[in-house]
Chains A and B, each alone.
Chain A
Amino acid sequence: MTSDTSKLDQSSSPGDVGKASARKLSDSKKLTGFAAIKDNLQFVRGRGGFEIGIVLLVLVIGYVTAGIFIPNSFPFLDSNNLSGVISQAVPVLAILGIGVGILMVSNEFDLSLGASLTCDAIVFIQVDQHAGLFLASIAAIATGAFIALVNGAIVVYTRIPSFIATLGMSFFWNGASIWINGTQAAELDQKHQTGAIEWVYVHNFGVFRSQFLWMILVVVLAWFFLHRHRLGNHVYAVGGNVAAAEAISINPKKVKLLSFGIYGSLVGLAAIMIAVQTSSMQPGGSATADYTLFAIAAAVVGGTSLQGGRGSVFGMLFGATLIELIQNGLILGRAPYFYITVFVGLTIVVAAIFNKLMEGKAR
């Protein structure tokens, strides 16, 4: 490894304009061990997921300790809690949080998320009755993508702020779900509640469920897209500074529509999980309304900037996990229900303030 620095020097010498006195970037020593980790952390922090990861780690250590020493009054490690609550709730919110987060990095919002969940779930249940699980899954994800792309097209081509446009569209899609299904709840057929559908989406493997595997898949794919693919780079560019992206011939409309499409597909996937888990869906949107703001909260708690251009997939995952764990901890600790909303609300505001401070520090 000692030859590294000399190799760098050689590669930078051709084309040099002859400023021998200046200190060069490639002259700087290769860092190793702890110094290298510290160096890298400095850059990771700029992306907004690091601090929340530490908070989450502390919380998990606390929960696990409590779960080991006082299992009766705080049954966190009970397999019923791990597989029944944690691995059903966390993946759904994490998948939604990642979808919303990608959209937020491109500097857009979608307030019709809850309405879309209802529509997608109803489409899934109805198609499943007639055409089977595979087509139903595709139909639900396609519906999610379609709804998001319609919203996205309105926002991108009319330049109405996405806040207003998608607020309006959320009423539209809520109404559409009643139009598709009538006012009765869509029920997943008894014989459709077991077998393949159960294995694929909600099977209990003891301490975790199928949803957990889906979440890992989404995290991996989203990470490679957002942090390693050139299109992900364009999402950051468009969200961070539209003018700069345009000047370098990135088309912001295409990039924003792509973000809407990815977000919508993830909403469709989450809708399937909710539908299979609850085996029915009430049209009108009231059943899924909470998810909209929880998903935005997950992204914000995870360090995603409300102004676009900043956020990380792991941050979004950590944000969703943190929100669900705080709720879970309060329930396990037998806190009254209003405590839960109070604490979740505080977490979101504190996280937002914290991220704001960190954004200032990163400058």
Chain B
Amino acid sequence: MKTPLLRLDNMSKKYGPNTVLSDVSFEIGKSEVVGLLGDNGAGKSTLVKIMSGVVPATSGNFYWEDEKIENLNREATEKFGIETIFQDSALVPQMSITRNIFMGREIRNKLGFMKMREMAQVATDVLDSVVTIEGIKSPKQLVQSLSGGQAQAVAIARAVHFKRRLLILDEPTSALAVRATEALLDYLRQLKTEGVSSVLVTHNLHHAFKVCDRHIVMNHGRKILDVAREDTSVEELTAAVVSGAEGVRLYRESVGK
């Protein structure tokens, strides 16, 4: 098999006495769209934080293109080209759209002064080309004046603009309108043809099933299912998410697999 882009090996995470992830291992291939599914509290968000280097794991190994990475942090993952859209904490409400898009990665001259015109121009292009955003008047608009869906779209536009190898989306469709969701799913398919992998974290199985090549289902901090799209169905995934490993077994029995 080809070298995977990213591999997690026996990742565990404890917060004090609470184990939120236990011995999770999986791979994400190059140009692959992976659905990371599970009910609330299954450990999806923790996994996302570990993969993007924001939170350190308690134990386990992280491999990037088969190279073991010690001291995983945000600087390292940014260097690899991992871009994450976090569910809750993506944008600064008091700042303009342009400033949010370029936060930490400003277009600047040698002295560090920002090139405002260029940033505004690129922001306009990014917002136009990535996701259809209704009702945004200007990239100068403050994020706090946007609706939830618009803000979500801005966060997605930013991640897509800076993506290089792997895009992780944590519940990206939760605040999006139907049409914007369709556009986003289309976009993930297109990214795949450009060689960019993505991880779609969601509990909307129908969205995941539409675009993902492979599905990983989490339950109570454990991986209970890791299956290619050809070998599964929305019904099986539903059983896995709702009733865990036992649900999968019962479902497979019932369809005689």
List chain A positions with a Cβ less than 8 A from chain B: 8, 11-12, 15-17, 19, 22-26, 28, 39-40, 43, 46, 224, 228-231, 233-234, 236-237, 239-241, 243-250, 305, 309-310, 362-363
A226: shortest Cβ distance to chain B, in Å? 11
A230 in contact with B99 given A247-B74, A247-B86, A249-B104 (CB within 8 Å): no
Asked if B129 contacts A16 (CB within 8 A), the reply is yes
- B125-141: contact bitstring with A at CB < 8 Å (1 yes, 0 no)? 10111101110111111
Asked if A250 contacts B103 (CB within 8 A), the reply is yes
Asked if B113 contacts A224 (CB within 8 A), the reply is yes
For residue A245, which residues in chain B have a CB less than 8 angstroms away from its CB?
A: 92, 103-104
* Interface Cβ pair total, 8 Å cutoff: 128
Asked if B104 contacts A237 (CB within 8 A), the reply is yes
User: Which of B12-20, B23-31, B64-72, B183-191 lines the interface with chain A?
Assistant: B183-191
Asked if B92 contacts A240 (CB within 8 A), the reply is yes
Asked if B74 contacts A246 (CB within 8 A), the reply is yes
For residue A28, which residues in chain B have a CB less than 8 angstroms away from its CB?
A: 137-138
For residue B95, which residues in chain A have a CB less than 8 angstroms away from its CB?
A: 233, 236-237, 240, 309
- Closest-by-CB residue of A relative to B104 is A248
B116 at the interface (CB under 8 A from A): yes
Asked if A43 contacts B105 (CB within 8 A), the reply is no
List chain B positions with a Cβ less than 8 A from chain A: 52, 54, 74-75, 78, 84, 86, 88-96, 99, 102-106, 108, 112-114, 116, 121, 124-125, 127-130, 132-134, 136-142, 144-145, 183, 186-187, 190
Supplied contacts A19-B132, A243-B88, 10 more A-B pairs, CB within 8 Å: A11-B125, A12-B128, A25-B127, A26-B124, A43-B141, A236-B99, A240-B95, A244-B89, A362-B145, A363-B144
**B132 in complex: contacting residue of A22, A40, A362, CB < 8 Å:** A22
C-alpha gap A234/B92 in the complex (Å):
11
A39 in contact with B138 given A240-B95, A247-B90, A309-B92 (CB within 8 Å): yes
26 contacts between A and B (CB under 8 A): A8-B121, A12-B124, A12-B129, A16-B128, A17-B130, A17-B190, A22-B134, A23-B134, A25-B133, A46-B94, A46-B142, A229-B113, A236-B92, A236-B99, A240-B93, A241-B89, A241-B92, A243-B88, A244-B103, A247-B52, A248-B74, A250-B104, A305-B94, A309-B94, A362-B145, A363-B144
A41: shortest Cβ distance to chain B, in Å? 11
For residue B138, which residues in chain A have a CB less than 8 angstroms away from its CB?
A: 25, 28, 39, 43
Asked if B92 contacts A229 (CB within 8 A), the reply is no
C-alpha gap A39/B137 in the complex (Å):
10
Asked if B93 contacts A241 (CB within 8 A), the reply is yes
**B94 in complex: contacting residue of A15, A25, A229, A310, CB < 8 Å:** A310
A19 in contact with B183 given A12-B129, A43-B96 (CB within 8 Å): yes
For residue B142, which residues in chain A have a CB less than 8 angstroms away from its CB?
A: 43, 46, 362
Pick the 8 closest A-B CB pairs, nearest first: A243-B89, A240-B92, A309-B94, A230-B106, A248-B104, A22-B132, A249-B74, A241-B92
- Closest-by-CB residue of A relative to B162 is A248
For residue A19, which residues in chain B have a CB less than 8 angstroms away from its CB?
A: 132, 183
- Closest-by-CB residue of A relative to B78 is A249
For residue A229, which residues in chain B have a CB less than 8 angstroms away from its CB?
A: 112-114
- Closest-by-CB residue of A relative to B184 is A17
Asked if B129 contacts A230 (CB within 8 A), the reply is no
